[in-house]
C-alpha cells in the first residue's frame, strides 16, 4: 500500500465523526465548558444557551464559546454572572 490510500483510510472515519460531535446536546456541552472554566479557577461567569440567530445579535460583553444541537444553538459566555 502506498501512503495515499493509508492516509485516506485513516481520515475517512474522522470526517464522518465530525457531524456527531456537532450534534452534542447543549446541556452536556455547557456542563463540559463549565467544568473546564472551574478547573482553571474562573469565577463569576454565566453560560447561556441561545438560538443561532440570537447569537448574531449579542451584546459586546457576551461571547460565543460553543455550538450544539447540530449548530441550531450556541453557548454564550459572560463575566459577572
Q: C-alpha grid cell for residue 62?
A: 457576551
pTM for this prediction: 0.69
Where helices occur in the chain by DSSP H, the ranges are: 3-22, 26-39, 52-55
Residue 68, CA distances (Å) to 28, 40, 41, 50, 80 in order: 9, 23, 24, 10, 24
Q: What is the tens place of the pLDDT at every residue in 34-75?
A: 999 999 999 999 999 999 999 889 999 999 999 999 999 999
Ordered by start, the domain boundaries in the chain are 23-79
Amino acid at each position: 500500500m502506498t501512503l495515499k490510500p493509508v492516509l485516506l483510510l485513516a481520515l475517512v472515519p474522522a470526517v464522518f465523526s465530525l457531524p456527531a460531535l456537532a450534534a452534542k446536546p447543549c446541556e452536556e456541552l455547557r456542563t463540559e465548558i463549565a467544568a473546564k472554566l472551574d478547573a482553571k479557577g474562573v469565577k463569576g461567569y454565566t453560560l447561556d444557551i441561545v438560538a443561532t440567530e440570537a447569537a448574531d445579535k449579542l451584546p459586546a460583553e457576551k461571547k460565543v464559546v460553543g455550538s450544539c444541537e447540530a449548530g441550531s444553538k450556541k453557548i454564550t459566555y459572560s463575566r459577572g454572572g
